[in-house]
Amino acid sequence: MSHNTKLLTIYASIAGVILLAGLGYSIYQYKETAKKLGDTQSRLTLSIEKIVELEKQNEELGGTLSLTQSEKEELGGALAKQKEENEELEEEKDMYEKLAKTDKQLLAKYSKVYFLNENYFPTKLDDIDEKYVLPVGKKLEFLDPALPYLEDLLEDAEEDGMPLRIVSSYRSFEEQQSLKSSYKVMYGSGANTFSADQGYSEHQLGTTVDFATPQVPGAMGAFANTASFTWLQENAHKYGFILSYPKSNSYYIYEPWHWRFVGEDLARDLYKDKKNFYDMDQREIDEYLIKIFD
């Protein structure tokens, strides 16, 4: 086993432990919230039963038993408070349940930071409409819940007279490995400046695309000089997309064609604050995960 392979195995193991810990915490929070909800529902039931019992006693005594105004207000207030607590806990339970079902990888900083092993596959992929794909007839896939955002972006760009085409999207671990090997043959160590090793590519997540235009039909620097790229800079955040590798980034050469879906909230805040995704702390990024498809 080569030194690099050993390192990749170690990184994968560490990442696995971190991700399992995060998943375990989400499951623990979900169970704790469900327990709280059950306790609150029990208290609510007891309060309702108390009121019903008192009303029943009142009827049996011919209406001679009556609650004082303060007792009515106390019971009514307790009932209202417990209903409110119940609703809050229901919302909290739904939140943790939703988070537990959301792929924790989708907002991780993968380029030379975290590692995706060969067993990682997106939950579900769908075909990108062939009219937006180059070359014609090529099959490209994108993460299913994120695809509507990409389709809206492509349609609106077309309507604005800024045609965009996609030359690359989801790539498996093996495909990235093969691509990187071919680049190394052509460019030697220089390939590391523009191509990720297998396991470190955002494309494996299924949420990343390389854009082009009919006039610039490939992922190349000339794309930065097109009106379509300018349109992306001004509008992509509205659809949840960010430019992964802007000028002066610490990972790869400037890649104007390479855009990643991170959700509308995070993309909007990055655009507003003029920040780069890879300059943010991972814990801060993870706070956006629960709303990535909202």
Token readout for 130 is 């062939």
Which CB contacts under 8 angstroms, 24+ apart, belong to 175-181? Answer: 176/201, 176/203, 176/204
State whether CATH 3.40.50.720 applies to domain 105-291: no
| pLDDT given at position 15 | 47
Look at residue 150 in the predicted model and tell me its pLDDT: 98
Structure tokens belonging to residue 244: 């992964």
pLDDT computed for residue 28 by the predictor: 57
Tokens of 263: 């959700």
Is the whole model's pTM more than 0.85, yes or no? no
pLDDT given at position 92:
60
Q: In this predicted structure, what is the pLDDT of residue 48?
A: 61
The domain segmentation of the chain, as residue ranges, is: 3-101, 105-291
* pLDDT value for 110: 84
pLDDT at 187: 83
What tokens were used for 110? 């993968």
Which residues of the chain fall below pLDDT 70?
A: 1-73, 75, 79, 86-96, 99
- DSSP secondary structure letters along 104-173: GGGG--TTTTS---TT---S-EEEPPGGGBSSTT---EEEGGGHHHHHHHHHHHHHTT---EEEE----H
